[in-house]
Amino acid sequence: MKKIFAEHKIGLIKILLSILLLIEATVLAHFDESLMSLICNIVAYGIISHSIIFHALKALFKKGKIDEKLLMTVASLGAMIIGEFFEAVLVLALYTTGEIFEDVATDSSRRSLETLASIRPDKARLVEGTIVNASSVEVGTIIEVFSGERIPLDGDVVNSVGSVDTSVITGESLPIEVREGSEVLAGYLNCNTPLKIRVKRPLGASAAQRIVDIAENALERKTKSEKFISVFSKFYTPIVIILALLVAIIPPLFDNYSFMSWAYKAFSMLAVSCPCAIVISVPLSYFCGIAYASKKGALVKGSSVIDKLCKIKSIAFDKTGTLTKSTLHVTKIEPISGVDKTELLKYVCIAEQKSTHPIALAILSEASKLNIVIDDEGKNHSESVGFGIECDSKFGHIKAGNRAFVGAPEDAHGNILVSLNGRYIGSISLGDEVKANAKIAFEKLTKLGILNKIIISGDKESKVKAIARSTGAQEYYHSLDPEQKLEVLELLISNSKGMVAYCGDGINDTPSLARADVGIAMGALGSDSAIECSDVVIMDDDIEKVARVIKIAKRTKRIAVLNIIISLAIKASMLALTALGLVPMLGAVIADVGVLILAITLSLLAGK
């Protein structure tokens, strides 16, 4: 409350002074002090009206714009001319109150986006202890972040295991573990051990800065609804003024020339016709929806995207990294007769232990889980890119790779085939595990009316088919390169009755993200292509957030449409009742302010 008063102190003081003077004028009039009463009314009007009149005239003469402030100026001046001082002042006091309420609501939503700008510290600590501006740190520099501090720049961890709170970036409530090689983003909070981080992006290209940029740019991309409101306001105000003039001039000619009575009705029409509720509430609804989505870990790049999300009927998903975990894991170990599974895995680990390839990391991780001790470092390691790796060990010469490299028989199957001293001894299969909540995410999409979920993957059929079955996808396509994925997407778009979204990891899916009606990039804040080509960025790998952001979009759209319907219906009713003289100016304005407050309240629900 103190903050609201501080930000709107002048407006609130104006309202209070004008109402106090209005009360005093009423009391003086009661005691036949008509001159003093008139002076109080004029001063009260001057206090509350001068800024409104100034902005109305400025908009009219500098921009040629007839806006709601001009309506209020003409209506209140007219009321003053015909002697309705009380209503003239109170009309503007209520209007100013509505403006303050609007500002408070808008500022509240804007702050929820602007807080993103503070998620990243402006200073960074170099490893020697020097504190410098984060903007001056070059790529490749190693910085240190202590426990309880926020990470100032994107980079890779170069020392021990630790944990970070990613909630302000991804919306994930639980801390995640990081270790050497893990990517961390600006804005993450270091939870425990000091972390040394090698900077990989300058401050301006950091994930945190991208979030801020997207949030700011989102407000500039208008929907059809917002464009309709702009056009509506442009023509609405002149039409209302003309109607009011007609009411003031024509009826008196047939009503004993009662110009004062009809002038009062005309000015009342102007007062009640202010389109504030519509003009304010629709953009505010979208603004609140975008802000709420960002809080939940999804960046929506503009209010126009909200409308598109509501029209999605089909979603095509990439498999790897989108529906599955991005890390590989061992799915099957198949040694030949006479060879133990532990022995087979151990031989491959000896060959792969110095490699940083994802396959090597998956195999070494499996050995660690099974507590297999690698007691031979091997020697003469040699890697043939795309074929395999080999080395000498105390057990003999080990080869691990594809069939041609190893010399395995035709009936051997698996991702990694293994030989010892030229003799094939077995295979290891790897896979990317489907995300635990992928099926739940698909079920949520179905409830939202998205009945067609398709998987488009470059992986082989058996794996894609298995994931399609486990998630409940209606169709799947396999063994596709990026160009073929795009061709499939084009086919889906041409056959779809609604909009088609594409959900990918934002790296090799750039063409499809750009072509889809709505591109949704998963956990891709570090990817330039994802930021540029997608319409929505899910800030972590949570596949359920696809359904969540669509749900937020649908609710936002419903609230915006409801605001338009309610505002127009009540506005039309009040105009008719005012023109017929059934509702006085003050009653009509109170109803109008009530509609404004109701519309703003409904708009704020889009951010809940």
In tens, the pLDDT along 434-472 reads 888 999 999 999 999 999 999 998 777 888 898 999 999
Please state, in angstroms and rounded to a whole number, the distance separating the CA atoms of residues 582 and 578.
6
Give burial (CB, 10 Å; 0-12/13-18/19+) of 98: buried
pLDDT at 109 over 60: no
Q: What is the pLDDT of residues 315-353, one digit of tens each?
A: 999 887 788 876 778 888 999 988 999 999 999 999 988
Per residue in 137-153, pLDDT (tens digit) is 999 999 999 988 889 89
Give pLDDT, residue 507: 55
Average pLDDT estimate for 290-300: 84
540 is catalytic: no
Whether the per-residue pLDDT at 544 is higher than 90: the answer is yes
Stated as kind and residue range, the H or E segment containing 317 is: strand 312-318
* Of 75, 66, 101, 76, residue with least CA distance to 233: 66
362 to 53, 344, 350, 366, 368: CA distances (angstroms): 71, 15, 14, 6, 10
Rounded to whole angstroms, the Cα distance separating 576 from 554 reads 33
Is pLDDT larger for residue 244 or for residue 199? 199
- Work out the mean pLDDT of the chain and round it to a whole number: 82
* Per-residue pLDDT at 525: 58
Q: Left (φ > 0), alpha (ψ -120 to 50) or beta: where does 332 sit?
A: beta
pLDDT at 316: 95
Q: At what angle do helices 224-253 and 259-272 cross, to 10 degrees?
A: 170
What angle (nearest 5°) sits at the alpha carbon of residue 602, between those of residues 281 and 95? 50
Residues in the chain: 608
52 pLDDT higher than 60: yes
Residue 524, pLDDT score: 60
Q: Which pLDDT value is given to residue 281?
A: 73
Closest by CA to 251, choosing from 239, 263, 267, is 263
Cα–Cα distance between 387 and 403 in angstroms, integer? 9
Q: At what angle do helices 544-579 and 259-272 cross, to 10 degrees?
A: 180
Active-site choice (154, 165, 318, 540): 318
214: left (phi over 0), alpha (psi -120 to 50) or beta: alpha
Of the candidates 206, 212, 33, the residue with the CA atom closest to the CA atom of residue 113? 212
pLDDT score of 393 more than 90 = yes
Query: Is the pLDDT confidence value at 548 over 90?
Result: yes
- Which of the two residues, 122 and 555, has the higher pLDDT score? 555
Q: Is 328 exposed, middle or buried (0-12, 13-18, 19+ CB in 10 A)?
A: buried
- d(CA 284, CA 294) in angstroms, rounded, equals 15
Q: Any residues with CB less than 8 A from the CB of 75 and at least 6 apart, and which?
A: 91, 267, 268, 270, 271, 585
Q: Report the pLDDT averaged over residues 279-301.
A: 81
Q: What percent of the chain lies above the pLDDT cut of 70?
A: 84
User: Residue 163 corresponds to which tokens in the numbers above?
Assistant: 């944990």
pLDDT band at 533 (very low <50, low <70, confident <90, very high): confident
The pLDDT score that the predictor gives to residue 47 is 92
d(CA 300, CA 556): 12
Say which range, 112-116, 192-196, 363-367, 445-449, has the weakest mean pLDDT: 112-116
Q: Amino acid identity, residue 334?
A: E
More confident site: 44 or 458: 44
Could you tell me the pLDDT band of residue 99, with boundaries at 50, 70 and 90?
confident
> In the prediction, which pLDDT does 56 show?
83
Domains and CATH numbers, the chain: 2-114+218-287+555-607 (no CATH), 123-205 (2.70.150.10), 297-324+435-553 (3.40.50.1000), 326-433 (3.40.1110.10)
Integer Cα distance of 96 and 102 in angstroms: 10
pLDDT of residue 406: 92
Minimum mean pLDDT range among 29-38, 96-105, 178-187: 96-105
Residue 482 CB neighbour total at 10 angstroms: 13
Collapsing DSSP states into helix, strand and coil, what is residue 396? strand
Q: Which residues fall within 8 angstroms of residue 88, CB to CB, at 6 or more apart? A: 41, 45, 76, 77, 79, 80
Which tokens sit at 78? 């007219």
Cα dihedral value 387, 457, 443, 550, nearest 10 = 120
